[in-house]
Amino acid sequence: MTAFVDDCVAVLYASQTGNAESISYSVYEEAVRRGFGASWHVLDDYDKFGFDSLRTVVFVVSTTGDGDPPDNSARFWRCLRKATRADPAAYKHLRYAVLGLGDTNYSNFCNTAQRLDKQLLAAGATAFYPKGLADDGTGLEEVVEPWIAGLWPALERVARCGSADSSGAGALAESLAGLAVGGGTDAAADVTPPPPTADSAGAAYEFQPLLLDFRPLAALKSITGAPRVPPIVCAGSFLDAEAESRYWSAAVQSAAAACPPWHAELEASAPHDASLAPFLATVASARQMTSAGALKRTLLVDIALPAAAAGHVRGRWHAGDAFNVFAPNDGRLVAGLLAQLGVDARTAQRPMLLRRAEPATEMPAHLRRFGSTPASIQDMLTWSADLCAAPRKQLLRVLADCCAEPADRNRLLYLCSKQGAATFDELRRQRPSLLEVLRAFPSCKPKAARLLELLPPLAPRSYSICNAPAASDATWQIAFNVVEYELEVVDPFSSAEEASAAVTRVRRRGLCTPWLEELARRSAPPQILVALRPNLNAFRLPPPLPAGAPDRRPVIMVGPGTGVAPFIGFLQQRASELARDPARAAAPLTWLFFGCGSAALDYLFRDELRAKVDAGVLGRLSACFSRDPDACAASGAARYVQDAMLRHQDEIADLMLNRDALLYVCGDAKGMGKDVNEAMATILCGYLASRPDRARELAAQLPPAKGPADAAPLTRDQALQLLTLWASRRRYLRDLWA
Ligand SMILES: Cc1cc2nc3c(=O)[nH]c(=O)nc-3n(C[C@H](O)[C@H](O)[C@H](O)COP(=O)(O)OP(=O)(O)OC[C@H]3O[C@@H](n4cnc5c(N)ncnc54)[C@H](O)[C@@H]3O)c2cc1C
Ligand SMILES: Cc1cc2nc3c(=O)[nH]c(=O)nc-3n(C[C@H](O)[C@H](O)[C@H](O)COP(=O)(O)O)c2cc1C
């Protein structure tokens, strides 16, 4: 029997869209398998599992927003801050390892993991294993797999004395041992089969075949590096006839709304703060904001809040906040999937309860409600599992074991192996739904319940509220782009000469926005489930000063495309403040940088913005048109918001450095957020180049520069550090999304 220094290794996670949750669960399972006394928790449950008394912890945390921690760790961070304020060495008893998930396309790569590491070290804790930072942009697996493989020997050293299993036997057993490529090496092993054409199942779903190259598989004798098959964690049992009829009579009552049948449980899920509880609301009106020919279709939709919900959120939301929309998977996709799995309609709709498959297993957090709330497989697939998430290796590994044909199994094993890494990347790039993956391996017939536990949770989608409560407090208005795009897929069998002819254009659609558009077009749209999502980064205008007092701080807003949404609310708020206190009319500069493709096709809120300029609410409006070079040439406008900012660099630098201005940026995190940050660094360096005294004064607020002294009064790195400092002081506020 193994002796432990401590009796427990806690695996803790913070996850916005489910990756960190599922990876942390694999770590937990493997820890249990290796004989560690392990537990697994979400960070926000810190008081339930007694965080302060833990000795050995493995954290798996992702980053969201603009370098923000996931929502399910917000309370934990507050507690950490409080504990370390009370005792700077509060965690000197703690040994930990951190695995961060992030994406290098965002500007604050793995900020949650970096912050956590820094704060724990500062609070006296010891890192027993170097942190791992995995990049979703290139594939999490590249870092996650070796990091987990190296975790076990490190954990052996700190969490056990003596070692019954120090050889690491069983360590990712399959991944190291190699899997034989057996039987079935038929000619089909190097191609993904075309979709069955005669099959009506899923016909209504816009199905796109996968184009993947499996030719290298033919030369392989064994496959290495495939993940271990995770144990089954959920088991389902159908309700008896009496319970089923009770279920149906309740279900009929909620069928009219476009929401999960268990919405009542969700509505009761935030007893401590009624303003955060989801509620049913009405899609009251919708209009298209863009003209035919625009690059994207943007809709403006009004969501009417019922009186009770409006009462609960009154005074709790502000311009700058967002709300969550609970949207389903496409019904045609679910129907196609059920047919592919061989689940008949009656079975698909029978209510069931889920339970742990074994007492020692844990169900994923998003399925736990089905331990007491019955739901059908069809409803769970529709509302709880992300059927369009990029496929994970663990799922592919399980699917391999569900194939009747060795050729299908081999291809799936190859996809999740080390040798198949390039084909795996191509699979993810094609962004297939689960149905498309299954159709590529026709003999693969997993059980629906097994899929449910392996798929990430279906996350609600968030939308910034474009109106201010002062303008209307029982309506939430949103502006969103309907997500539809095409991917280019090259047929791997085409020769170099015919390559251009062999490019297939694959159409993909988003989940929530096409659904909202379809609902909005109905003559009587059904209710949908929504919940307030307050902005945790203080992305708000400062509160008004007492009547008669002039505002002191200018405001610069940067919001291209739908990123302008919260600023419309800001301007409405300002307008109502000015109406109440006209003496303020001569007040502070409010300057908006807006960008779109063309002035004629997609200039969102054009009339409203002009009216705000005319009314003196918006002092300056700088609009840019990225696809309209003629308009830019004629009006002197820039193409992108960051270009427009650079044109006004001295004024912006002056506002930020000498007039204590606030800078707000909203919209696309991957491109625009980074570009604006870079532009601001250029602006600061340029302005301070001729003001060395001011530059020195600012540099003194920053950590000492590393490396040789630079000739510039403020280096680019220092300018970036200054921006980070402003962000922490809430002078530079960013609300960025993917
Ligand atoms: C706090 C917050 C506020 C937000 N406010 C708004 C808002 O006001 N307006 C708004 O429109 N959105 C907003 N969003 C984004 C919104 O939540 C959704 O992400 C967006 O509407 C897409 O949802 P969907 O379900 O339709 O698409 P999804 O099913 O989520 O698909 C979107 C995904 O498709 C992929 N994709 C999209 N286009 C392409 C392409 N051309 N090539 C390759 N892949 C592509 C990307 O991976 C993208 O993440 C906000 C997000 C947050 C977090
Ligand atoms: C809206 C959004 C914002 C993100 N912001 C960041 C970020 O600021 N920094 C970063 O490193 N990764 C960022 N990411 C990438 C996620 O951290 C990454 O995709 C991770 O795998 C998600 O894990 P989760 O599913 O556990 O939340 C962002 C992803 C999304 C969808």
3-state secondary structure 140-182: CHHHHHHHHHHHHHHHHHHHEECCCCCCCCCCCHHHHHCEECC
Does residue 384's CB lie within 6 angstroms of at least one atom of ligand 1? no
Ligand 2 in contact with 535 (CB < 6 A)?
Answer: no
Report d(CA 437, CA 415) in Å as an integer.
11
Distance 735 CA to ligand 2 centre (A): 14
157-166, 180-189, 315-324, 726-735: range with lowest mean pLDDT = 180-189
Q: Compute the average pLDDT of residues 579-597.
A: 81
Q: How would residue 253 be classed by pLDDT, with cut points 50, 70 and 90?
A: low
Q: Identify the pLDDT of residue 675.
A: 94
Query: What is the rounded CA–CA span in Å between residue 398 and residue 228?
Result: 9
CA distance 165 to 141: 26
Quick one: pLDDT band at residue 177, thresholds 50, 70, 90? Answer: very low
Please report the pLDDT score of residue 382 as a whole number. 96
Mean of all residue pLDDT scores within the chain: 87
Report the nearest-CA residue for atom 32 of ligand 1: 510
**Considering 138, 171, 204, which residue would you say is the last residue of a domain?**
171
CATH number of the domain to which 572 belongs = 3.40.50.80
* CB 300 within 8 Å of CB 471: no
Q: Where does a domain end: 154, 171, 188?
A: 171
Which ligand is nearest the CA of 67, by number? 2
Banded pLDDT at 107 (limits 50, 70, 90): confident
Secondary structure (DSSP) of 645-658: HHHTHHHHHHHHHH
Q: Which residues contact 195 (CB under 8 A, 6 or more apart)?
A: 207, 209, 439
pLDDT at 163 over 80: no
Q: How far is Cα of residue 368 from the mean position of the Cα atoms in its chain? A: 21
- Whether the predicted pLDDT of 293 surpasses 60: yes
CB 45 within 8 A of CB 84: no
How many separate domains does the chain show? Answer: 2
Q: Return the ligand 1 atom nearest residue 566 CA.
A: 8
Q: For ligand 2, say whether the CB of 673 is within 6 Å of any of its atoms.
A: no
Domain holding 715, by residue range, is 555-737
The answer to whether residue 563 scores a pLDDT higher than 70 is yes
- For residue 62, give the ligand nearest its CA: 2
Rounded to an integer, the average pLDDT of 99-108 is 89
35 φψ region: left (φ > 0), alpha (ψ -120 to 50), beta (else): left
Average pLDDT over residues 479-485: 96
- For the Cβ of 459 lying below 6 angstroms from any atom of ligand 2, the answer is no
What's the gap in Å between 259 CA and the centre of ligand 1?
20
Q: Is 562 in the pocket of ligand 1 (CB under 6 A)?
A: yes
User: Strand, helix or coil at 198?
Assistant: coil
Confidence (pLDDT) at 523: 87
327 pLDDT above the threshold of 80: yes
483 CA distance to ligand 1 centroid (A)? 7
Q: Is the CB of 322 under 6 A from ligand 1?
A: yes
pLDDT band per the 50, 70, 90 thresholds, residue 631: confident
Distance CA 134, CA 140 (A): 5
In the predicted model, what is the mean pLDDT of residues 549-561? 87
- Does 329 sit in the ligand 2 pocket, CB within 6 Å? no
> What ligand 2 atom has the least distance to the C-alpha of 23?
26
Give 261-286 pLDDT, tens digit per residue: 898 888 887 767 888 999 999 999 99
| Residue 44 resides in a domain | yes
What is the distance between the alpha carbons of residues 139 and 88, in angstroms, rounded to a whole number?
37
Give the pairing of strands 279-288 and 527-533: antiparallel
CB-based contact 657:699 (threshold 8 Å) = no
Atom 17, ligand 2: residue with shortest CA distance: 102
DSSP-derived secondary structure for 312-323:
HHTTT--TT-EE
SS3 536: coil
Kindly give the distance from the C-alpha atom of residue 241 to the centroid of ligand 1, in angstroms, as a whole number.
42
Tell the residue nearest (CA) to atom 10 of ligand 1: 480
d(CA 396, CA 392): 7
User: What's the pTM value of the predicted model, to 2 decimals?
Assistant: 0.83
pLDDT value, residue 160: 65
Ligand in closest contact with the CA of 567: 1
Pocket of ligand 1 contains residue 738 by CB under 6 Å: yes
Average the pLDDT over 382-387 and give the result: 96
User: Does the pLDDT at position 2 exceed 70?
Assistant: no
CATH number at 35 reads: 3.40.50.360
C-alpha closest to that of 212 among 386, 47, 411: 411
Contact 738 CB / ligand 2 (< 6 Å) = yes
592-615: average pLDDT: 96
What's the confidence (pLDDT) of residue 396? 96
Band of residue 49 on the pLDDT scale cut at 50, 70, 90: confident
Question: In this structure, which residue's CA is closest to atom 33 in ligand 1?
Answer: 510
Ligand with smallest separation from the Cα of 511? 1
Residue 537 within a domain: no
Fill in the DSSP letter of residue 114: H
Answer whether 301 contacts ligand 1 (Cβ < 6 A). Answer: no
Which pLDDT score is estimated for 548?
Answer: 65
Integer angstrom CA distances of residue 712 from 390, 681, 688, 716, 723 = 45, 13, 9, 9, 17
pLDDT surpasses 50 at 188: no
Residue 320: closest CA among 560, 623, 568, 551: 568
Give, using CA atoms, the residue closest to atom 4 of ligand 2. 64
Q: pLDDT-derived band of residue 185, with 50, 70 and 90 as boundaries?
A: very low
CA of 660 to the centre of ligand 2 (A): 31
Q: Rounded to an integer, what distance in angstroms lies between the CA atom of residue 560 and that of residue 671?
A: 11
- Return d(Cα 478, Cα 286) in angstroms, integer: 9
In a domain, 167, yes or no: yes
301 domain residue, yes or no: no
Does residue 720 form part of some domain?
yes
Q: Which of 25, 63, 393, 464 to mutate to test the pocket of ligand 2 (most atoms within 8 A of CB)?
A: 63
Determine if ligand 1 sits within 6 Å of the CB of residue 481.
yes
Single out the residue in 123, 156, 171 at which a domain terminates. Answer: 171
Q: Is 677 in the pocket of ligand 2 (CB under 6 A)?
A: no
Which residues lie below 8 Å from residue 281, measured CB to CB, with a gap of 6+? Answer: 303, 304, 305, 306, 309, 476, 527, 528, 529, 530
| Ligand 2 contacts CB of residue 669 (under 6 A) | yes
**Residue nearest (by alpha carbon) to ligand 1 atom 7:** 463
Q: Whose CA is nearest to atom 48 of ligand 1?
A: 738
Q: Is the CB of 102 within 6 Å of ligand 2? A: yes
Taking residues 533-557, report their average pLDDT: 82
Residue 102 forms part of a structural domain: yes
From the CB of 42, is ligand 2 less than 6 Å away?
Answer: no
| 701 inside domain | yes
User: Which residues lie below 8 Å from residue 284, measured CB to CB, with a gap of 6+?
Assistant: 302, 303, 304, 475
Ligand 2 pocket, residue 136 CB under 6 Å: yes
pLDDT digits (tens, 9 = 90+) for 123-139: 999 999 999 999 988 78
The pLDDT assigned to 495 comes to 64
Report d(CA 348, CA 57) in Å as an integer. Answer: 40
Atom of ligand 1 nearest to the CA of 738: 49
Residue 715 alpha carbon to ligand 2 centre in Å: 29
CB of 62 closer than 6 A to ligand 2? Answer: yes
Give the residue-averaged pLDDT of 672-689.
Answer: 95
Q: Is residue 304 part of a domain?
A: no
Which atom of ligand 1 has the smallest separation from the CA of 514?
26
Q: Which atom of ligand 2 is nearest to the CA of 15?
A: 26
Cβ atoms of 162 and 9 closer than 8 Å: no
Cα 561 to ligand 1 centre (Å): 13
Residue 551: pLDDT band (50, 70, 90) is low
